[in-house]
Structure 1
């Protein structure tokens, strides 16, 4: 007799595995007051990092730096008694020699990392267009 194997919605091991994966995911939306939400997208030409910062932030308060395969985003929020929020995005390859552009509009910071266009700079600060 051929019986179908059905997944049990109350399978504790599966739930524990999912919860562990969910809470260790750096892009999860459960955040504290010292961080912000990030999303990572990929197109044929570039990788796109979107950060939800809120509309009360100005481009002067945003700092983006690159070092090897890491992208650092920090915000010094002057409206919140000089509180700093930061995130680090670690990619599985070096991005320091890639062309990187950033734009901040309507509370969303969008960082584009070109897959093919090189940059002649190494460790560097990224200018934000607003």
Structure 2
């Protein structure tokens, strides 16, 4: 019999403080300019990470959740010697792997939805883009 991992509730006050600090961090602005721009939004049911990737096709984008992190990687490979790889890692104050995560890419914008209430796989994994 497998033992279930105890899932701890999310401290929403801690998340609120994290969002405030993240938006005020000057390194976030630097990454927006050198890698690709991201925006963070919150609704009653989920957190949304939006990434502006209009120069990439969906097949060139990977979304990976690992413990407390969301990793978005975009690789443009026009020729083998000329690969343009961009990566953004967003560290959350809770285990992202324990939440349901979905993603879609439309018109150059990647949206990653992290549910506040629905449970996820509890392990590191790639999120498939439709």
Q: What is the TM-score normalised by the length of structure 1?
A: 0.73
Deviations 1:49-71 (A, max 9, x none): 000001x3111111111111100
Gap regions ≥5 residues in structure 2: 1-23
Q: What SS is found at the alignment partner of 1:79?
A: strand
Q: Is the 8 A contact 2:97 2:121 kept in 1?
A: no
**Residue in structure 2 matched with residue 31 of structure 1 by the alignment:** 33
Quote the residue 1:65 is aligned against. 64
Q: Structure 1 runs of 4+ off > 3 angstroms?
A: 27-30
Number of positions where the alignment pairs a residue of Structure 1 with one of Structure 2: 105
What is the distance in 1 between the residues matched to 2:25 and 2:90? 17
Structure with the higher helix share, 1 or 2: 2
Report the RMSD for the aligned CA atoms in angstroms. Answer: 1.9
Name the structure 2 match of 1:74: 73
TM-score (norm 2): 0.73
Structure 1: stretches of 5+ with no match in the other structure: 1-20
